[in-house]
Amino acid sequence: MEQYYPYIKSLHLIFIITWFAGLFYIVRLFVYQIEASEKPSPEREILGNQLKIMASRLWNIITWPSMILAVFFGIWLLLMRTFFLADAWMQVKLGFVILLLIYHFKCHEIYKQLQKGVVKHSSNYMRLFNEAPTIILFAVVFLVILKDGTNWIYGTIGIIVFAILLMMGYKIYKRIREK
């Protein structure tokens, strides 16, 4: 079974990439759906219907299957190399994976609301919400690459600082845009 490890790892990475692509784009579609809901009729209905179709196809054909397959192949890899579970970097990485899954399910909740025409968040909120998977992606890549040293700790701290700076930058940008 060990000879298949590189193939399983490759499939895991492919589905991680497509999962992230779906997560990045679905929230952009949420922004567009929210902004379309504020437009006058008939533009609101025309854009709203088209964006619902686009979101449905992305979410159900790309993002959900990619998440399921990324998790499936990730678990398979862990079963092949269970010793990684004892490593602190892997435990932290799995914590970030759990956060990403929570983010995915929150996106699903927002997706279902917007498909029903229910808008509970502003487009600005969604723009900021869209930064969460970026932070998780940076953190996981640094953890995986720097796993054999203590540098992953500094990388994780760096990601947290990056997230704080990103939020501050967004707030400044929002204030400038509102003037």
Per domain, the residue ranges of the chain are 2-178
147 annotated to a ligand binding site: no
Q: What are phi and psi of 42, to 5 degrees?
A: -90, -5
| Residues 52-108: tens digit of each pLDDT | 999 999 999 999 999 999 999 999 999 999 988 888 888 989 999 999 999 999 999
What pTM was computed for the model?
0.86
Helical spans, DSSP H, in 38-87: 43-57, 64-80
108 annotated to a ligand binding site: no
Helix 64-80 / helix 5-37 crossing angle, nearest 10 deg:
150
Half-sphere exposure (Cβ direction) of 62: Cα atoms closer than 13 Å: 17
Closest among 18, 146, 11, 19 to 77, alpha carbons compared = 11
Number of CB atoms found within 10 A of residue 90's CB? 18
